Amino acid sequence: MIGEMLNGIAIHPQLTILVPALWVLGFVLKKTPRIPDWLIIWILLLVGVAASVWHLGFDLNGIANGFIATGAAITTHQSIKQTFFSRVNDPKKGEE
């Protein structure tokens, strides 16, 4: 039953613009002093799901696309950050 529901989820191509929009929002939230870091991911998830549901409708597909877009934004941001910037800031990590 759950497998049948998950098979019906399709990533909507128009939501690819949501990933960079969430990057920008995350950057702005990171620079906002009153918002703790732990809260940023939850705000991004809320905005990602809300934008997806607004565009696709309030159903499993709309909610799942919001989760997928938010996950893509967070994962790509962290991949870039850890690949290019963490090694520069931590020289011992490059020696391992």
pLDDT at 25 over 90: yes
* 4 part of a folded domain: no
65 or 90, greater pLDDT: 65
Residue 43: how many other CB atoms lie within 10 Å: 15
Percent of the chain with pLDDT over 70: 79
Q: Which of 9-13, 43-47, 77-81 has the highest average model confidence (pLDDT)?
A: 43-47
Is 66 inside a domain boundary? yes
Domain assignment present for residue 15? The answer is no
What pLDDT score was predicted for residue 31? 93
In a domain, 64, yes or no: yes
Q: Tell me the pTM.
A: 0.77
Q: How many domains does the chain have?
A: 1
Instruction: Evaluate whether residue 71 is within a structural domain.
Output: yes
Structural domain containing residue 76: 35-85
What is the rounded distance in angstroms from the CA atom of residue 48 to the CA atom of residue 65? 8
